Structure 1
Amino acid sequence: MAEAKCPRKIQKRVCEDRISSLSNDLLIHILLHVPTKDAVATTLLSKRWRFVWTMLSRLTYRETKNKSDLQSKSVWWFLDETMRFHKAPLLELLHIQLGKLCPIDVDVVKWVAKALDRPLCWLFFELLWNSEPTKMPNSLYTCKTLSILTLSRKIIVDVPSSVSLPSLTELDLLSVVYKEEDSHVRLLSSCPVLKCLKVVRRNDVDDNVKTFSIKVPSLLSLTYKNTIFKRDEDDYTYVSLVIDTPALVYLDIFDYTGKSCSTEYMPCLADATVDVDFNPDGNFLSSLSRTEFMYLGYVDNTMVPLYNAINYSRLIESHIELNDIDLCESLVVLLSNCPKLKNFLVKCQYETDHFTLLWNQPSSVPKCLSSHLEIFEWDGYAGREDEKEFIRYILENSKCLKRAGILLNLTCNAEEKQKIIEELKSMHRVSTSELLFSALNVD
């Protein structure tokens, strides 16, 4: 007779809240990896969690609601309620982005002022409300611990007479308004260790500055974007840029509406992006001779002689946008001044219809073609005679070429594209370079 089986003993499972037994330091570290709104929501979990979030060193408040949603509330209300309880002794980051839902009858910067009462390292403040630009607290301009500062949109930069930002290394001034012409000068002069500066000036913002002067001996990186060109409907006032940054390594200028750009010599400049429609001064052009990477936008017949008069002895990669039709021969002059060039990319921005230009064969071959050039690209090829002969010249003389890319002009029909591709493929290549096309899947 088989033995009767004993019933299996049922063990009662006990749910243990192990995470709540962790130390405050570990819980804070966990909450730093979730959005601030979710971190604050943990206060409802239990008494153990009630005040953990209040010790977070990084807080982010960003407008995410759509104004068309009538039930939505601005993030301002969440900011105003939670900051009352926050008590961390140090703030590594305070990120505030208030949008058009933000009420216009509140003190939007009061919590910034409170945060500045303790050590604050990084402040990002963007204001997009429907009211007028507002001032930041004066204590912002004397914060000893601030290392990164971003001010964006409806903010007035009103710099007091006493200003000192001894730790500030990165500064972004994005479409802000300056109280007076020299406000930005006083601000920049108070930043002795500033390394990175980004300035954006928009056409829809009258920022009260005609000459933007950047004199920062410590600056390594400068980005300047300007689309301002008028003060009112009847009076056009063009703005100017002055740069005095001897240690600068990286420069990015976009300025189609400025009057001039005056600079002091920048011997350390290694990476330059220049997209302007006015002629830079001699010191600026001399500084380009030291660059290793160079992007030139809006290059026309008036600018080519200036850029071609420079010897780019260290240049490795060059991008250039052509805005006039008769510049292919000038490109050979440019190449002759770039003995170490490895990558050369050309983009055509001009109309190509009804132009047939002659090509005069250069008497010598640039050194970079015979010993360095590895990548060549032509964006906007339409099959004009001078374009065709320039590309033929590149392929026949570039001994180190590894890849040549031709991006065909979109105005060409399929039959024209096929004909152009076959013509280009038949050209003699001195190297075993790969010839690529972007329009048709042709091997």
Structure 2
Amino acid sequence: MDRVSSLPNELLCHILSFLTTKEAALTSLLSKRWRNLLAFVPYLYIDDSVFLHPEEGKRDRPEIIQSFMDFVDRILALQSNSPIRKFSLKCLTEVDSNRVDGWISNVLARGVLDLDLFIILDSEGDDHYLLPPKCFQSSTLVSLKLDGGIDIGWVAGSIFLPMLKTLTINSARFDNFEILLHALPALEELSLFDVIWNDQGVNISSASLKTLTIYDIYCSSTLSFDTPSLIYFKYTGFVAKDYPVVNMKNLFDARIILLLQIQRAREPDEYHWFDQDVALRYSNVWKLFLGLQNVTNLYLSPGTLEVLSRCCESMPVFKNLKSLAIKSNKERGWQAMPVLLRNCPHLETLVIKGLLHHVTDKCGDACDCISREDKGRSLTSCPVKMLEIRGFRGTMKEMTMIKHFLVYFPCLKEMNIYVEENDPTELRVPEVSKCIMQMMEEYNKLSSCNVELL
């Protein structure tokens, strides 16, 4: 007898759980014992792209699809009523939606804890799979992931998932999102990707929610957050019309990546209704940031900095902020930086990913791009002790800005500069590299701050 066969059944089932269901099924050819083990594997990973032949056109043949569906039926029949922890189903072919309903109903009846569905019924993406109501009436589900444009627009009425802690939805339209959230009293982690809300006013309200990730959203109306227990918040998307309520009093970490049309942001047409609407949206962004004012760690994208420049006069004070990270590029400006730095009275660490930015006369004194009388004023009131610069390219403009920071940040103790790794830089040229190193040595002598090029 080989060593593997001598292992107890529980351990062998655990090993099979790391394989796709097709791979696990193939082990049944080894012996009768392995066939019996498959009936008790608590993790099923079913992916039609693994099961079907990948050759051009072959996977779409009716007999191949029928073979795949029969395989899933046999696996579930073999397992009968044995407990199941996770069921992952990925179907990118034209499977029978009634068969899919049966598979999902089977695992729900067996008390599945983790349900992961990626279902596309047709290659054109026009026919969306209508999720059966049973998915929102489970007393055991702890994690639910829906992908592929699954239709949940019907959600309403008698839905209740008392144990659900994690919900991930990718590509969906919502009409009754608030009703869904109210049916999830234990929800702690919510991730929404490529979501369009049809509601007149969207309110993400949950007393239990701790982690919220929103990516590529579009909200044509107002967007509110009543999430008092939230600890982590990542928001990537276009600016909503307004943010009437933003309750995140326990927020620790926030990443805000606002998308914008730069030309309309800088030069709006006062006679064009769309441009007027965009300008109004940008002016209301301060309400979102007012709700973030208790955050400890904050990341801002280049677009977010540009949007914030439209509401600098309403910028809140971030009294708990210890670490601020910003990303820059040549198309987006630093107009909001002076106010932002002045409004972080307890800032300890500043991370700048890319020093080069769009230069305007409104960049203020945060940079040294334009000569001005009040040079460095916003920096002198900033208590930052650690400055981390990433994406350094070795240009003289960057070196001038580094010196500017060393001169005007009064509490700065350490500056770490990380060279750009993904693109060629000026530092490839030996003469430039030598000059930069000499300047770094001089900077170290002129300042009490420890400067390191890494």
Q: Distance in 2 between matches of 1:53 and 1:411?
A: 55
Q: Distance in 2 between matches of 1:430 and 1:64?
A: 60
Call closer, same or farther: CA 1:94–1:326 in 2, change over 3 Å: closer
Q: Distance in 2 between matches of 1:384 and 1:54?
A: 67
- Is 1:128 paired with 2:120? yes
- Is 1:200 paired with 2:193? yes
- Structure possessing the higher radius of gyration over alpha carbons: 1
Q: 1:90 aligns with which of 73, 80, 83?
A: 83
Q: Distance in 2 between matches of 1:207 and 1:81?
A: 39
Q: Distance in 1 between matches of 2:54 and 2:198?
A: 30
* Counterpart residue identity of residue 314, structure 1: N
Mapping for residues 211-250 of structure 1, pairs under 5 Å: 211-228=201-218, 238-250=220-232
Task: String of CA shifts for 1:358-389, please: whole Å, max 9, x gaps.
Answer: 244234754655xx52232154779686x665
Cα contact 1:404–1:436 (8 A) shared by 2 = yes
- Is 1:362 paired with 2:376? yes
- Is 1:303 paired with 2:303? no
Mapping for residues 343-358 of structure 1, pairs under 5 Å: 343-347=350-354, 350=357, 357-358=370-371
Deviation at 1:114, TM superposition (A): 1.4
Q: Distance in 2 between matches of 1:294 and 1:340?
A: 11
Task: String of CA shifts for 1:72-101, please: whole Å, max 9, x gaps.
Answer: 4455453233222222532110111111x3
What are structure 1's unaligned runs of at least 5 residues? 1-15, 230-237, 438-443
Mapping for residues 296-335 of structure 1, pairs under 5 Å: 296-297=300-301, 298-300=303-305, 303-304=308-309, 305-306=311-312, 309-322=315-328, 331-335=337-341
Residue 148 of structure 2 aligns with which residue? 153
Cα contact 2:285–2:308 (8 A) shared by 1 = no
Cα contact 1:55–1:88 (8 A) shared by 2 = no
Q: Distance in 2 between matches of 1:136 and 1:46?
A: 38
Q: 1:404 aligns with which of 394, 417, 427?
A: 417
Call closer, same or farther: CA 1:380–1:17 in 2, change over 3 Å: closer
SS in 2 for 1:214: strand
Cα contact 1:299–1:321 (8 A) shared by 2 = no
Cα contact 2:339–2:378 (8 A) shared by 1 = no
- Is 1:274 paired with 2:263? no
Cα contact 1:54–1:88 (8 A) shared by 2 = no
Cα contact 2:101–2:132 (8 A) shared by 1 = yes
Q: Distance in 1 between matches of 2:58 and 2:331?
A: 56
Deviation at 1:399, TM superposition (A): 3.7
Residue 385 of structure 2 aligns with which residue? 373
Cα contact 2:165–2:187 (8 A) shared by 1 = yes
Residue 8 of structure 1 aligns with which residue? none
* Counterpart residue identity of residue 91, structure 1: I
Q: Distance in 1 between matches of 2:27 and 2:425?
A: 58
Residue 164 of structure 1 aligns with which residue? 160
Q: Comparing 419-428 with 188-197, which one deviates more in the overlay?
A: 419-428
Residue 116 of structure 1 aligns with which residue? 108
TM-score of the superposed pair, with normalisation by structure 1: 0.77
Deviation at 1:21, TM superposition (A): 5.4
Cα contact 2:256–2:304 (8 A) shared by 1 = no
The alignment-based identity, stated in percent, is: 22
Q: Comparing 239-248 with 320-329, which one deviates more in the overlay?
A: 320-329
* Counterpart residue identity of residue 393, structure 1: H
Deviation at 1:174, TM superposition (A): 0.9
Q: Distance in 1 between matches of 2:133 and 2:318?
A: 46
Deviation at 1:168, TM superposition (A): 0.6
Residue 441 of structure 1 aligns with which residue? none
Q: Distance in 2 between matches of 1:78 and 1:420?
A: 67
SS in 2 for 1:51: helix
Cα contact 2:120–2:128 (8 A) shared by 1 = no
Deviation at 1:51, TM superposition (A): 2.0
SS in 1 for 2:168: strand
Call closer, same or farther: CA 1:46–1:257 in 2, change over 3 Å: same
* Counterpart residue identity of residue 146, structure 1: L
Residue 18 of structure 2 aligns with which residue? 33
* Counterpart residue identity of residue 387, structure 2: I
Deviation at 1:46, TM superposition (A): 2.4
Deviation at 1:274, TM superposition (A): 0.9
Call closer, same or farther: CA 1:292–1:335 in 2, change over 3 Å: same
Deviation at 1:201, TM superposition (A): 1.9
Call closer, same or farther: CA 1:302–1:124 in 2, change over 3 Å: closer
Task: String of CA shifts for 1:8-54, please: whole Å, max 9, x gaps.
Answer: xxxxxxxx356545543343233223332222222222233332211
Cα contact 2:392–2:418 (8 A) shared by 1 = no
Cα contact 2:386–2:415 (8 A) shared by 1 = yes
- Is 1:436 paired with 2:436? no
Call closer, same or farther: CA 1:423–1:241 in 2, change over 3 Å: farther
Q: Distance in 2 between matches of 1:431 and 1:340?
A: 19
Q: Distance in 1 between matches of 2:149 and 2:339?
A: 47
Residue 6 of structure 1 aligns with which residue? none
Q: Distance in 1 between matches of 2:243 and 2:424?
A: 35
Q: Distance in 1 between matches of 2:232 and 2:132?
A: 32
Q: Distance in 1 between matches of 2:299 and 2:378?
A: 25
Alignment RMSD: 3.7
Q: Distance in 1 between matches of 2:332 and 2:95?
A: 56
Call closer, same or farther: CA 1:411–1:39 in 2, change over 3 Å: closer
Q: Distance in 2 between matches of 1:63 and 1:319?
A: 42
Deviation at 1:324, TM superposition (A): 8.0
Residue 235 of structure 1 aligns with which residue? none
Q: Comparing 101-110 with 148-157, which one deviates more in the overlay?
A: 101-110
Q: Distance in 1 between matches of 2:97 and 2:292?
A: 50
SS in 2 for 1:80: helix
Cα contact 1:90–1:120 (8 A) shared by 2 = yes
Q: Distance in 2 between matches of 1:210 and 1:225?
A: 20
Q: Comparing 156-165 with 283-292, which one deviates more in the overlay?
A: 283-292
Cα contact 1:402–1:431 (8 A) shared by 2 = no
Q: Distance in 2 between matches of 1:105 and 1:168?
A: 25
Q: Comparing 420-429 with 267-276, which one deviates more in the overlay?
A: 420-429
Deviation at 1:151, TM superposition (A): 0.8
Deviation at 1:246, TM superposition (A): 1.3
Count of aligned pairs between the two proteins: 404
- Is 1:176 paired with 2:178? no
